[in-house]
Chains A and B, each alone.
Chain A
């Protein structure tokens, strides 16, 4: 079945760029998403990308999609303490009509 994989942890110094990676197996994915979960809260959509795009930029966020390798990344420029959270990659699977979420990457900011 579909699978979405992420590394569990990432630590970055304040002011540096963070790069969170995700790989997925469903080659028919049309939409790919990044959600952010702050402590004690539900998930919030950060950004998304269509599978016919290579890159999407939104202020400090850059999403890169390599469809050939089924690899998605989220770059956060000038990482701040408020960026500390768990980041989930998700892909829309039209065959099963559902979103498949990755395990989430916990981003820790080092002062």
Chain B
């Protein structure tokens, strides 16, 4: 099993550009989520999904969209990047819910100029 994979590892964007951060898992997990990690602030939940076709907002959803068309994939879209979205983004998955062990991807470091 590859576990949770994320691409790209690094990305630099200009303000106003759009992009999609990819996340995939091969463990047949139902629950997937996106977090951002900022210095001194821990991890904050952006969006999550409890299964294919179902998504919901987390703590900091503004500026981000998600979709879950398959169990395996959970992409995160930035529609119009802003410098405030400079962060490290982590995707995580778990078998059932947020109380289960979360398996994290290696992260994407995004810089918005």
Interface residues of A (CB under 8 A from B): 4, 8, 30-31, 35, 40-45, 48, 88, 92, 97-99, 101-104
Determine the chain B residues whose CB is within 8 A of the CB of A88 once the complex forms.
42-43
Chain B positions 25-54 with a Cβ under 8 Å from a chain A Cβ: 35, 40-45, 48
Determine the chain B residues whose CB is within 8 A of the CB of A41 once the complex forms.
106-107
In contact, A98 and B58 (Cβ under 8 angstroms): yes
In contact, B104 and A43 (Cβ under 8 angstroms): yes
C-alpha spacing A92/B35, complex, angstroms: 15
In contact, A99 and B102 (Cβ under 8 angstroms): yes
In contact, B42 and A103 (Cβ under 8 angstroms): yes
C-alpha spacing A101/B44, complex, angstroms: 7
C-alpha spacing A99/B35, complex, angstroms: 11
0/1 interface trace, chain B 81-95, chain A, CB 8 Å (1 if under): 000000000101000
In contact, A45 and B45 (Cβ under 8 angstroms): no
Determine the chain A residues whose CB is within 8 A of the CB of B59 once the complex forms.
98
In contact, B99 and A42 (Cβ under 8 angstroms): no
- Tell which of B41, B43, B92, B107 has the most Cβ of chain A within 10 Å: B43
CB-based closest 4 A-B pairs: A42-B104, A101-B43, A101-B42, A103-B42
Chain B positions 60-113 with a Cβ under 8 Å from a chain A Cβ: 90, 92, 97-99, 101-102, 104-107
In contact, B41 and A103 (Cβ under 8 angstroms): yes
In contact, B106 and A40 (Cβ under 8 angstroms): yes
In contact, A43 and B98 (Cβ under 8 angstroms): no
In contact, A45 and B42 (Cβ under 8 angstroms): no
C-alpha spacing A35/B48, complex, angstroms: 19
With A42-B105, A101-B42 known, 13 other A-B pairs at CB within 8 A are: A4-B42, A8-B40, A31-B99, A35-B102, A41-B106, A42-B104, A43-B92, A48-B101, A88-B42, A88-B43, A101-B35, A103-B41, A104-B42
